Amino acid sequence: MHANSDQQPAADDEKPDEKAADKDAVDSQAPEKDAEEEVPAGPDVPAPPVEELREAMDWAFEGEEIEGDLLDAFARHAHLVLDENRRVNITAILDPKEVAAKHYLDSWRITQFLPLFGHTVIDIGTGGGFPAIPVALAEPMARVTAIDSTRKKADFVQRSVDELGLKNVNVQWGRAEDWLLTERADVAIFRAVSSVRENVRTLRKVKQSVRDVVMLKGKSWSREVRAAEREAERLGFHLDTVWEYTLPGELGDHVILVYKAPGSQGL
């Protein structure tokens, strides 16, 4: 591990896509949500039982200081996700160990790196609820908004929140840019939504509504950062911290980037 500091609906089911890829800087190593949507599990692929998913959580989180009750909750949510995946394309990651590491360990690490107690968080393009639901489960005193431009996904996340009894999650169907016109967040999170450059562009009109911008990326993150450098500087976003880590089972190198928004003093 390494750290450096220095709308309205367009149609009944869909809103304008807020995940347009930046052709000059796409991180092919990250678990891209757009790519996941292209590969449905299909009705003939049953969700693994909760017990199998719980064992996968033990594998992924081996050596981490984490409560068993939290891993239980992660396994329950994973089962909901993979069961829903038979009807709505949420994820192409189906192997229980990969699900545990790439969706839950990845999301949970945010709560270990950032002090989210008492803070407001917006998960932009939440998909199946990542990282919003793992973050909310791990830090119940954080106030989390999960937002997605696809109604079916937002509806599923709401059902998951209800099933898990989460009181600190607000689910929104829409565009984050529109929500942030009237609301504020201490932390805005992009988990493999698009390139760094497109992400800062997404916030250009609402940059005063957030303080820290967190992006989860794969091993080619440095190329994206370089490609976005001029745009980020123009818009007033400053790369403050980089946390690198390796997923278990040779599942790849990932990184958490923290950008400070204009005028932000940070958490």
- Digits of tens for pLDDT over the chain (267 positions)? 444 444 333 333 444 333 333 433 333 333 444 334 444 556 667 899 999 999 999 999 999 999 999 999 999 999 999 999 999 999 999 999 999 999 999 999 999 999 999 999 999 999 999 999 999 999 999 999 999 999 999 999 999 999 999 999 999 999 999 999 999 999 999 997 899 999 999 999 999 999 999 999 988 899 999 999 999 999 999 999 999 999 999 999 999 999 999 866 656
Residue 20 in domain: no
The verdict on residue 21 lying in a domain is no
Q: pTM of this prediction?
A: 0.84
Write the single-letter amino acid at 140: P
18 found inside a domain: no
**Residue range of the domain that includes 192:** 2-12+31-260
| Within-domain flag for 26 | no
Closest CA to 163 of 78, 52, 77, 104: 77
Tokens representing 259 are: 């950008």
Whether residue 187 contacts residue 120, with contact meaning beta carbons closer than 8 Å, is answered with yes
> How far is Cα 76 from Cα 149, in angstroms, rounded to an integer?
25
Question: For the chain, what is the domain count?
Answer: 1
115 part of a folded domain: yes
Instruction: List, edge to edge, every strand of the sheet that includes 143-148.
Output: 2-4, 238-246, 253-260, 210-218, 185-191, 120-124, 143-148, 169-173
Coil/strand/helix, residue 128: coil
What length is written for the chain? 267
Identify the CATH number of the domain in which residue 165 sits: 3.40.50.150
| In-domain check, residue 19 | no
Asked, for residue 44, whether it belongs to a domain, the answer is: yes
Predicted confidence at residue 265, as pLDDT, reads 60
Q: CA angle 114-110-251, nearest 5°?
A: 145
Of 62, 34, 4, 81, the C-alpha closest to 258 is 4
First to last CA, the chain: 21
> Is residue 22 one of the residues assigned to a domain?
no
